A and B are shown apart, each in its own frame.
Chain A
């Protein structure tokens, strides 16, 4: 019985990590950040929000981190790793916090995630480049992070209500 559960979890992790990687790649193909650097949809966050509500914080964190690591191994470099990690970690911490209050739906959690993903990356870029001038991008990134967060949260919410919690197997 225990063995079956483990296999099931492995399959679940694999499925969700693969899905989040595909979403990252799809997002890479949409050149949203042409107008303002840093503007992004954060499609992969759909999976993280879904996992956070449905599976739990550890599962969601593992999925988020593995996605970042695997995407970096395939497409990025060390520099991109710091950049992605800072966004992913900060965004996860804030989403967990919002979830724990029990006062927000997936849309609200998505807003927190989107906004703080941008803040994390902006902070990381400021430190790496040794400049505080990036502050000027913050207003735009706050708005774009909110819009993207709402969209991502709503999609995650729809998924949560349509994908049945299947704990029988």
Chain B
């Protein structure tokens, strides 16, 4: 079965690619320094990761509550129906993010070693 073999090759290629990508991201990651909060693409604030904080993002009906504690950031509560952002758990590594699609809230970990590079890129 030639087709069966091609299917398996395709499967192996995708799995290999994913593994490679995962390893690359894993090896190159470093702990970030700041938590950058954006709503609808616009930055609304930047908070140091080493200071504990509880922040309410949004208004009465649409909101996300960002908590920074012991060097980890997480969204502890949200108004969205699926709560995906809450389930994403805690983040601390440079480039990691917590995203709430319904409220268009993006919480990103930035800074760390590549802070100069990031500043230039933005």
Which residues 23-73 in B have Cβ within 8 Å of A in the complex? 25, 38, 41
- At the interface, is chain B mostly helix, strand, loop or mixed? helix
A105 with B106: CB separation less than 8 A: no
Q: Which of A87-138 contact B (CB under 8 A)?
A: 98, 103-105, 107-108, 111-112, 115, 125, 128-131, 133-136, 138
Give the size category of B's interface with A. 20 to 34
Contact B96 A104 (CB under 8 A): no
Q: How many A-B residue pairs have CB under 8 A?
A: 89
Are A104 and B7 closer than 8 Å at their CB atoms?
yes
Least CB separation from A141: chain B residue: B18
**Chain A interface size range:** 20 to 34
A binding-site residues for B, Cβ under 8 Å: 33-35, 37, 79, 83, 98, 103-105, 107-108, 111-112, 115, 125, 128-131, 133-136, 138-140, 142-143, 145-146, 150, 153
Least CB distance, A93 to chain B, in whole angstroms: 16
What are 19 A-B interface contacts by the 8 Å CB criterion?
A33-B84, A34-B87, A37-B84, A104-B3, A104-B7, A104-B10, A108-B10, A111-B7, A129-B104, A130-B106, A131-B38, A135-B95, A139-B25, A142-B15, A142-B21, A146-B11, A146-B15, A146-B18, A153-B7
A131 x B106 contact (CB < 8 A):
yes
Q: Known A37-B84, A139-B18, A139-B19; judge A130-B41 contact (CB<8 A).
A: yes
- CB-defined contacts of A131 to chain B, threshold 8 Å: 38, 97, 99, 106, 108
- Complex: chain A residue closest to B21, CB-CB: A139
